[in-house]
Amino acid sequence: FPEMLSNPRLTSVQRTLNVVMNQNVTLSCHSDSGSPPVTYTLFKRNQKVSTLNRPDLTPGLFNLTINSVSDVGEYKCKADTNSSRGGKYSNSLNFTLLEPISKPVLSSPTSRAKKGQNVTLSCLSENGSLPITYMFFKGRQSISPPVKMQKKEAAVIFLCINSSSDFGIYKCKAENSFHNNTKYSNSFNFTLAEERSHSQPLIITLGLILLLCVIGFALAIPLFIIPSYKASE
C-alpha cells in the first residue's frame, strides 16, 4: 500500500528570513513521508514559481534571487505523489527586506531659545527598514534612552534650556537591523535669544515724549514767540 503523503515543510536554508536586495536565497521543501517519486512546486502569492521532481524523499531545493520588493512576498510549496489526491501544502514563509538607513536629520522648530525655555529635538531617517532605533547626544554624552520607532516617524525628545551649557552641540544617531549600519545626523546648536530689558520700553517712551516736546517747541517759535517779540519792539 502507498504511504500517506505528509504535509511538506518549507524552510530557508540560510536559517533567516532577513534578506537584502540582490541576495541569493535557497528554500527547501520536504515531505517526511510518502511514496516516491515526489513532485515539489513552489508558489509565490499563489503563482507558480518552479517545479522539481524527486525520485525519493530528499528535499526539493529552490534557488531564488531577491531582485525587488515584490520578491519578499509570501511563499508556499506543494508536494504531490502518484497516490496523493490534490497534493499537500506547506506552511508559508515571508522574507523581510532589510534596507540600510539614510543619514538622519536633526531639527527643531526653533534654533533660538531663552534660559528656562522648553524646546524639542526631532530625529528622522527618511529611508531604512523598520524598526529604526534613535539616540540623542549632546557632545559625546547620551541624553536619552534608545527610542525605537515602528513607523516612519521622527523620534522626539523634550529639553529645558536651564544654563549656558545647554546651548552646546546636539546630534542623534539611527540604526536598524541591517548589518553594521549606524548613521549620525547633522549637528544642531541652540543660540541664546536676546532678552529685552524691562527698562527699554520706559526709555523708548521717554524718548518719544522728549522728541514731541522738541517738535512742539520748534512749532511754537514762529507762532507765538516771534510775534510776541515783534509786538514788544
224 pLDDT above the threshold of 50? yes
- Gap between the Cα atoms of 30 and 9, Å rounded: 5
On whether both 115 and 35 belong to a single domain, the answer is: no
Task: Note the pLDDT of residue 115.
Answer: 86
Note the helical H segments in 90-166: none
In terms of residue numbers, what domain contains 91?
A: 9-97
On whether both 130 and 60 belong to a single domain, the answer is: no
Average pLDDT rounded to a whole number, residues 141-147: 95
Three-state secondary structure call for residue 229: helix
On whether both 89 and 110 belong to a single domain, the answer is: no
220 pLDDT above the threshold of 80? no
On whether both 78 and 128 belong to a single domain, the answer is: no
29-71 pLDDT, tens digit each: 999 999 999 999 999 998 999 999 999 999 999 999 999 888 9
Nearest residue to 77 (alpha-carbon basis) of 66, 94, 91: 91
96-140 pLDDT, tens digit each: 889 999 999 999 999 888 888 999 999 999 999 999 999 999 999
Quick check: 155 and 141 in contact, CB under 8 A? no
Instruction: Report residue 219 as a C-alpha cell.
Output: 512749532
Domain termination residue (choose one: 46, 80, 97): 97
This prediction's pTM: 0.62
How many independent structural domains does the chain possess? 2
Among 29-43, 67-81, 208-222, whose mean pLDDT is lowest? 208-222
pLDDT-derived band of residue 199, with 50, 70 and 90 as boundaries? very low
Domain termination residue (choose one: 192, 212, 228): 192
Average pLDDT rounded to a whole number, residues 196-225: 67
pLDDT-derived band of residue 175, with 50, 70 and 90 as boundaries? very high
What are the CA-CA distances from residue 207 to residues 86, 202, 226 (Å)?
98, 9, 27
Q: What is the CATH number of the domain that holds 144?
A: 2.60.40.10
> Is 206 inside a domain boundary?
no
The pLDDT mean for the chain works out to 88
- Gap between the Cα atoms of 225 and 216, Å rounded: 12
